[in-house]
Chains A and B, each alone.
Chain A
């Protein structure tokens, strides 16, 4: 397994160009958590339509999913991310089933924490109306006050609590 990654500044520049192209073509930035939301909304309304109908969150999001095909945009974009990531994995020979973890925890602990982290991210992104891609990165590119506040809150919190979670990583 090769682990040579692209120079981060070059990768950042390319990522910036992808983001810029997205904004120039579509008028809006990149995203990721929005696709998770669409998936949840679609699943719940498929399994329990009555429940979805009665809940304000689902009915509002269903309506906007229906009225506004741009919400489906993120689903297609995320499908693209899977394809693009997979392709990059082939090119750089990094396709393997592995679990990455710090040296002091077990694999199953790592998976548990990944699940909890994902859960927190999924919830937090609903409050902030976007995650690291949609709120922080895209928000920074368009100089949105809210996006930049969210970005500072994400990384600020990360640094503030890193010490307490060091066992997970180092």
Chain B
């Protein structure tokens, strides 16, 4: 899954990528006419709507691409940088930049493109930009408060207004096409010789219809993960797709035995996990199953992965997701982790047999479909011993700081 950078591209290569992307960016900006301040300012006076056309088209193209790749499961949208929202600063900064745009006729990206072809006003704009950053830096104590006020998180607009991503995507495209049609009419009135004069009406109508069709398609493209969760939480799906189960006794036995053929995957939240980790376990929350860095653990064919969660349903959901992602040899802990603690560590009666006992582990000791007296005795004796050793091992695991393989690499952004 994309993006590539945190894991697959080295930092040096990434800087070369930056240069190449910059070249493409600069070339397109200049070709679009963004190196000309008169052309840019035209958007505010109605004689040239190039800015709106290029900007809006680029925005909806990239947005549609992200939604489509997210739907296909090629791009992990949890991993892309979402600009954080600081309400006051976003508005204040935008207002100041609005004045900067109308007074200076450029924005930073376009001024650099203008400078590249010798626009002297663009060079002054870039110089002004440097002074602006310097002034801000020198006056930072004055601005710090408002810059960091009302942090709302890395929120996304469709969540903020409470609609689906696809619906917002469609509305944005509809708005863009509406704006293109309207501004073209305005431009033709303000300046009959404006850029819209040269447009081929047929091609532009076809392109408009095409992008609206993409917008309609976005309505039916939930994010891949969201789609997977919806599909898997469907009761019918749960019935037709079983997951092998392992009893608390068997899991305990194998953990105490330090069985190299098992890998315990603990799905609990990290804080909960760090308080009480199972020996030799790996902490992967359900939503992290998609992440590349866990593919080594989850994809190890020689180990049986045992998914452990507070409830069996949680473990089953995660296991089904993992199976859908192509991981094999997965079992879940039946009756959830609290039952294991309850019956083994605290030596209380367990929650009874597993709901789907399809484990087929071949371990007679714990496969308790037909329970006779001797077996109960055996189990009891085992649990008494196990309660001590398991508690000890868990303490050890906790003290050794239970290597929570939490992802530290997070994509940093900032313009």
Contacts and interface: CB of A to CB of B under 8 A. Distances in A.
Interface stretch (B81-89, B240-248, B249-257): B81-89
A169 B45 contact: yes
Contact of B81 (A86, A142, A159): A142
Contacts of A149: 85, 87, 90-91, 94
B345 to A, nearest CB: 42
Interface string A32-75: 11101101110010000000000111100000100011111110
A166 B44 CA distance: 9
B404 interface: no
B130 A87 contact: no
A27 B77 CA distance: 9
A78 B29 CA distance: 12
B26 A83 contact: yes
B35 interface: yes
Nearest to A9: B57
B3 interface: yes
Given A39-B130, A122-B131, A16 B59 contact: yes
Interface in B1-58: 2-6, 9, 11, 14-33, 35-39, 41-45, 47, 49-50, 53-58
A114 B165 contact: no
A162 B98 CA distance: 10
Interface in B69-98: 69, 75, 79-87, 89-98
B182 interface: no
Contact of A84 (B26, B169, B207, B412): B26
A86 to B, nearest CB: 4
Interface in B82-132: 82-87, 89-122, 124-132
Contact of B21 (A16, A77, A101, A146): A77
B405 interface: no
Contacts of B400: none
Output the residue of B11, B99, B165 with the most chain A CB within 10 A: B99
A151 B5 CA distance: 27
B6 A153 contact: no
A88 B129 contact: no
Contact of B119 (A55, A56, A100): A100
Interface in B121-171: 121-122, 124-138, 140-141, 143-144, 146-147, 152, 154-160, 165, 168-169
A19 B379 CA distance: 61
Contacts of B143: 126-127
A56 B222 CA distance: 43
Contacts of B60: 16
Interface in A1-50: 5-9, 11-34, 36-37, 39-41, 44
Output the residue of A9, A17, A148, A170 with the most chain B CB within 10 A: A9
A86 B84 CA distance: 33
A95 B18 CA distance: 24
B204 interface: yes
B195 interface: yes
A144 interface: yes
A11 B321 CA distance: 40
A120 B99 contact: yes
Contacts of A128: 89-90, 92-94, 97
A135 B14 CA distance: 21
Given A124-B96, A158-B101, A27 B6 contact: yes
A117 B56 contact: no
B108 A36 contact: yes
Contacts of B25: 15, 18, 30, 77, 80-81, 84
A126 B59 CA distance: 22
A76 B147 contact: no
A12 B33 CA distance: 11
A29 to B, nearest CB: 7
B32 A15 contact: yes
Contacts of B144: 56
A131 B413 CA distance: 13
Interface string A128-139: 111111111111
Contact of A27 (B3, B98, B169): B3
A129 B414 contact: yes
A146 B83 contact: yes
Contacts of A122: 100, 108, 128-136
A111 to B, nearest CB: 5
B107 A32 contact: yes
B55 A162 contact: no
A23 B3 contact: yes
Given A57-B136, A101-B121, 9 more contacts: A9-B54, A12-B57, A26-B9, A68-B412, A80-B23, A100-B119, A118-B130, A126-B133, A145-B159
Interface of A: 5-9, 11-34, 36-37, 39-41, 44, 55-58, 64, 68-74, 76-89, 92, 94-102, 110-162, 165-166, 168-170
